[in-house]
Amino acid sequence: MGSNAKRDLLLAAVIGAACVAGCATKPAVPGAADRSGTEVKAEGLQWLPPGTVFVLHDKRSGTYGHYDFTVGKPQGFDETQVWTQSEREWKGVKAIALSSPQMGTLIYSASDGGLLAIVDTGGKKIGSYDPPITYEWPLKVGKAWTSKVALTWMTEANTMPLEVHFRVEAFEEVTVAAGTYRAFRIVSVDSLGEVRTAWARPDLGLWCIKRVLDRSSSYPYGAGHEEDELVSVTPPK
Protein backbone atom coordinates (compact mmCIF):
# COMPACT_ATOMS: atom_id res chain seq x y z
CA MET A 1 0.00 0.00 0.00
CA GLY A 2 1.48 3.37 -1.03
CA SER A 3 1.77 6.39 1.24
CA ASN A 4 -1.22 8.18 -0.30
CA ALA A 5 -3.35 5.06 0.07
CA LYS A 6 -2.34 4.82 3.73
CA ARG A 7 -3.30 8.45 4.24
CA ASP A 8 -6.65 7.89 2.56
CA LEU A 9 -7.30 4.82 4.73
CA LEU A 10 -6.64 6.97 7.79
CA LEU A 11 -8.99 9.73 6.68
CA ALA A 12 -11.63 7.26 5.57
CA ALA A 13 -11.61 5.51 8.93
CA VAL A 14 -13.42 8.33 10.73
CA ILE A 15 -16.43 6.51 12.22
CA GLY A 16 -16.67 3.03 10.82
CA ALA A 17 -14.31 3.25 7.95
CA ALA A 18 -14.44 -0.42 7.25
CA CYS A 19 -18.18 -0.46 7.22
CA VAL A 20 -18.01 -3.34 9.65
CA ALA A 21 -21.15 -4.34 11.48
CA GLY A 22 -23.09 -7.34 12.61
CA CYS A 23 -25.85 -8.63 10.44
CA ALA A 24 -26.81 -11.89 8.84
CA THR A 25 -27.54 -12.71 5.23
CA LYS A 26 -30.42 -15.08 5.83
CA PRO A 27 -31.88 -14.78 9.06
CA ALA A 28 -31.74 -11.07 9.98
CA VAL A 29 -30.25 -9.91 13.26
CA PRO A 30 -32.90 -9.27 15.96
CA GLY A 31 -34.15 -5.72 15.65
CA ALA A 32 -32.96 -5.31 12.07
CA ALA A 33 -36.48 -4.53 10.82
CA ASP A 34 -38.01 -3.14 14.01
CA ARG A 35 -40.60 -0.39 13.87
CA SER A 36 -41.89 1.81 16.67
CA GLY A 37 -44.15 4.79 16.98
CA THR A 38 -41.98 6.23 19.74
CA GLU A 39 -38.69 8.07 19.37
CA VAL A 40 -35.82 5.69 18.68
CA LYS A 41 -32.64 6.22 20.66
CA ALA A 42 -29.34 4.37 20.64
CA GLU A 43 -28.14 4.62 24.23
CA GLY A 44 -24.77 2.99 23.63
CA LEU A 45 -22.79 0.58 21.49
CA GLN A 46 -22.65 -3.18 21.27
CA TRP A 47 -19.78 -5.28 19.93
CA LEU A 48 -20.36 -8.66 18.35
CA PRO A 49 -18.27 -11.64 19.58
CA PRO A 50 -14.56 -11.93 18.80
CA GLY A 51 -13.97 -14.09 15.75
CA THR A 52 -16.93 -12.66 13.85
CA VAL A 53 -16.10 -12.36 10.13
CA PHE A 54 -17.65 -9.60 8.02
CA VAL A 55 -17.78 -9.38 4.23
CA LEU A 56 -18.35 -6.04 2.53
CA HIS A 57 -18.44 -4.67 -0.99
CA ASP A 58 -16.15 -1.66 -1.47
CA LYS A 59 -16.24 0.43 -4.69
CA ARG A 60 -13.96 3.45 -5.05
CA SER A 61 -12.88 5.99 -7.61
CA GLY A 62 -10.59 9.01 -7.70
CA THR A 63 -8.52 9.73 -4.61
CA TYR A 64 -10.17 6.93 -2.62
CA GLY A 65 -8.41 4.36 -4.80
CA HIS A 66 -5.12 2.55 -4.15
CA TYR A 67 -2.13 4.67 -5.11
CA ASP A 68 -0.38 3.34 -8.22
CA PHE A 69 3.26 4.48 -8.40
CA THR A 70 3.55 3.36 -12.05
CA VAL A 71 1.07 6.03 -13.15
CA GLY A 72 1.57 8.46 -10.26
CA LYS A 73 -2.03 8.62 -9.07
CA PRO A 74 -4.71 6.59 -7.27
CA GLN A 75 -6.56 3.91 -9.21
CA GLY A 76 -10.17 3.05 -8.48
CA PHE A 77 -11.26 -0.45 -7.54
CA ASP A 78 -14.34 -2.59 -6.99
CA GLU A 79 -13.70 -5.46 -4.59
CA THR A 80 -14.99 -7.70 -1.84
CA GLN A 81 -13.20 -7.37 1.50
CA VAL A 82 -13.13 -9.69 4.50
CA TRP A 83 -12.76 -8.23 8.01
CA THR A 84 -12.27 -10.24 11.20
CA GLN A 85 -13.02 -8.92 14.69
CA SER A 86 -10.77 -9.65 17.68
CA GLU A 87 -9.94 -8.33 21.13
CA ARG A 88 -6.60 -6.83 22.17
CA GLU A 89 -5.01 -4.14 24.31
CA TRP A 90 -3.76 -0.89 22.86
CA LYS A 91 -1.50 1.17 25.11
CA GLY A 92 -3.14 -0.30 28.19
CA VAL A 93 -6.69 0.19 26.90
CA LYS A 94 -9.03 -2.72 26.16
CA ALA A 95 -9.63 -2.56 22.43
CA ILE A 96 -11.47 -4.14 19.52
CA ALA A 97 -9.50 -4.80 16.33
CA LEU A 98 -11.05 -5.18 12.87
CA SER A 99 -8.53 -6.63 10.44
CA SER A 100 -8.51 -7.11 6.67
CA PRO A 101 -5.68 -8.63 4.58
CA GLN A 102 -6.37 -5.98 1.92
CA MET A 103 -6.72 -2.87 4.09
CA GLY A 104 -4.95 -3.40 7.44
CA THR A 105 -6.40 -3.05 10.95
CA LEU A 106 -8.67 -0.52 12.64
CA ILE A 107 -8.35 -0.40 16.44
CA TYR A 108 -11.25 0.90 18.53
CA SER A 109 -11.82 1.50 22.23
CA ALA A 110 -13.94 -1.35 23.53
CA SER A 111 -15.76 0.98 25.94
CA ASP A 112 -17.06 3.72 23.63
CA GLY A 113 -16.05 2.74 20.08
CA GLY A 114 -13.55 5.58 19.71
CA LEU A 115 -11.07 5.05 16.87
CA LEU A 116 -7.65 4.70 18.52
CA ALA A 117 -5.29 3.80 15.68
CA ILE A 118 -4.86 2.41 12.18
CA VAL A 119 -2.25 -0.23 11.36
CA ASP A 120 -1.18 -1.21 7.84
CA THR A 121 -1.05 -4.76 6.48
CA GLY A 122 2.56 -5.08 7.64
CA GLY A 123 1.69 -4.29 11.26
CA LYS A 124 2.98 -0.69 11.27
CA LYS A 125 0.88 2.07 12.85
CA ILE A 126 0.05 4.63 10.16
CA GLY A 127 -2.29 6.93 12.03
CA SER A 128 -4.21 7.86 15.15
CA TYR A 129 -6.71 10.36 16.54
CA ASP A 130 -6.33 12.34 19.77
CA PRO A 131 -8.81 12.16 21.37
CA PRO A 132 -10.29 9.02 19.79
CA ILE A 133 -13.19 9.93 17.53
CA THR A 134 -16.61 8.35 18.02
CA TYR A 135 -20.35 8.96 18.15
CA GLU A 136 -21.89 10.95 20.98
CA TRP A 137 -24.52 9.04 22.96
CA PRO A 138 -27.42 8.73 22.88
CA LEU A 139 -28.05 8.84 19.14
CA LYS A 140 -31.42 10.22 18.06
CA VAL A 141 -32.83 12.00 15.03
CA GLY A 142 -31.93 15.69 14.99
CA LYS A 143 -28.89 15.38 17.22
CA ALA A 144 -25.77 17.22 16.02
CA TRP A 145 -22.27 17.59 17.42
CA THR A 146 -18.71 18.48 16.44
CA SER A 147 -15.58 16.45 17.19
CA LYS A 148 -12.24 18.26 17.28
CA VAL A 149 -9.20 16.00 17.10
CA ALA A 150 -5.52 15.93 16.23
CA LEU A 151 -4.96 13.59 13.29
CA THR A 152 -1.50 12.01 13.20
CA TRP A 153 -0.43 10.35 9.95
CA MET A 154 2.63 8.11 9.46
CA THR A 155 4.93 9.92 11.95
CA GLU A 156 4.31 11.71 15.25
CA ALA A 157 5.65 14.90 13.64
CA ASN A 158 2.98 14.82 10.93
CA THR A 159 -0.07 15.98 12.91
CA MET A 160 -2.93 18.22 11.81
CA PRO A 161 -6.14 19.50 13.43
CA LEU A 162 -9.39 18.01 12.12
CA GLU A 163 -12.99 18.96 12.85
CA VAL A 164 -15.86 16.63 12.00
CA HIS A 165 -19.45 17.91 12.12
CA PHE A 166 -22.08 15.19 12.64
CA ARG A 167 -25.86 15.21 12.33
CA VAL A 168 -28.35 12.35 12.74
CA GLU A 169 -30.74 13.13 9.89
CA ALA A 170 -33.22 10.23 9.93
CA PHE A 171 -34.17 6.80 11.21
CA GLU A 172 -35.20 4.93 8.08
CA GLU A 173 -35.18 1.70 6.10
CA VAL A 174 -32.06 0.83 4.10
CA THR A 175 -31.51 -2.22 1.90
CA VAL A 176 -28.10 -3.75 1.14
CA ALA A 177 -26.86 -7.17 0.07
CA ALA A 178 -27.11 -8.39 3.67
CA GLY A 179 -30.79 -7.50 4.02
CA THR A 180 -33.15 -4.66 4.92
CA TYR A 181 -32.68 -2.72 8.16
CA ARG A 182 -34.12 0.21 10.09
CA ALA A 183 -31.12 2.43 10.79
CA PHE A 184 -29.92 5.91 11.68
CA ARG A 185 -28.75 7.99 8.72
CA ILE A 186 -25.77 10.00 9.97
CA VAL A 187 -24.17 12.68 7.81
CA SER A 188 -20.74 14.11 8.63
CA VAL A 189 -18.59 16.79 7.02
CA ASP A 190 -14.97 17.29 8.01
CA SER A 191 -12.87 20.45 7.88
CA LEU A 192 -11.11 19.22 4.73
CA GLY A 193 -14.46 19.10 2.92
CA GLU A 194 -15.16 15.39 2.81
CA VAL A 195 -18.87 14.49 3.09
CA ARG A 196 -20.01 11.06 4.21
CA THR A 197 -23.39 9.51 4.79
CA ALA A 198 -23.61 6.35 6.90
CA TRP A 199 -26.55 4.12 7.82
CA ALA A 200 -25.84 2.49 11.19
CA ARG A 201 -27.28 0.82 14.29
CA PRO A 202 -24.29 0.72 16.64
CA ASP A 203 -26.58 -0.18 19.54
CA LEU A 204 -27.21 -3.51 17.77
CA GLY A 205 -23.63 -4.05 16.64
CA LEU A 206 -24.44 -2.54 13.23
CA TRP A 207 -21.71 0.08 13.03
CA CYS A 208 -22.17 0.65 9.32
CA ILE A 209 -24.77 -0.97 7.10
CA LYS A 210 -24.05 1.31 4.17
CA ARG A 211 -21.76 4.29 3.57
CA VAL A 212 -21.26 6.86 0.79
CA LEU A 213 -18.29 9.26 0.77
CA ASP A 214 -17.54 12.17 -1.55
CA ARG A 215 -14.69 14.60 -2.12
CA SER A 216 -14.97 17.52 -4.54
CA SER A 217 -12.19 18.75 -6.80
CA SER A 218 -11.35 21.38 -4.16
CA TYR A 219 -10.47 18.68 -1.61
CA PRO A 220 -6.70 18.80 -0.80
CA TYR A 221 -6.08 15.40 -2.40
CA GLY A 222 -8.56 15.80 -5.26
CA ALA A 223 -12.00 14.45 -6.06
CA GLY A 224 -13.17 10.94 -5.18
CA HIS A 225 -16.21 8.78 -4.55
CA GLU A 226 -16.66 5.66 -2.42
CA GLU A 227 -19.58 3.33 -1.71
CA ASP A 228 -19.51 0.50 0.83
CA GLU A 229 -22.21 -1.93 1.86
CA LEU A 230 -22.41 -4.94 4.12
CA VAL A 231 -22.75 -8.28 2.36
CA SER A 232 -22.73 -10.89 5.14
CA VAL A 233 -21.42 -11.89 8.54
CA THR A 234 -20.27 -15.22 9.93
CA PRO A 235 -20.35 -15.65 13.72
CA PRO A 236 -17.49 -17.44 15.48
CA LYS A 237 -17.74 -21.22 15.71
- CATH number for the domain harbouring residue 60: 2.40.360
- pTM of the predicted model as reported, rounded to 2 decimal places: 0.81
Task: Report the candidate in 63, 93, 69, 97 with the shortest Cα–Cα distance to residue 220.
Answer: 63
Domain that holds residue 50: 3-234
Please list, in sequence order, all residues whose beta carbon lies within 8 angstroms of the beta carbon of residue 72, skipping any fewer than 6 positions away: none
Residue-level pLDDT at 7: 43
pLDDT in tens, 145-199: 999 999 898 777 789 999 999 999 999 999 999 999 999 999 999 999 999 999 9
**What's the one-letter identity of residue 9?**
L
- Give dist(CA 38, CA 137) in Å, integer: 18
Residue-level pLDDT at 205: 81
Number of domains in the chain: 1
- Give dist(CA 173, CA 97) in Å, integer: 28
CB 233 within 8 A of CB 24: yes
pLDDT in tens, 137-159: 999 999 999 999 998 987 777 89
Would you say how long the chain is, in residues?
237
- Give dist(CA 90, CA 46) in Å, integer: 19
Please list the ranges in the chain whose pLDDT falls under 70: 1-38, 66-74
Residue-level pLDDT at 4: 44
Identify the bridge partners of residue 212 per DSSP, sorted by sequence position: 197, 227
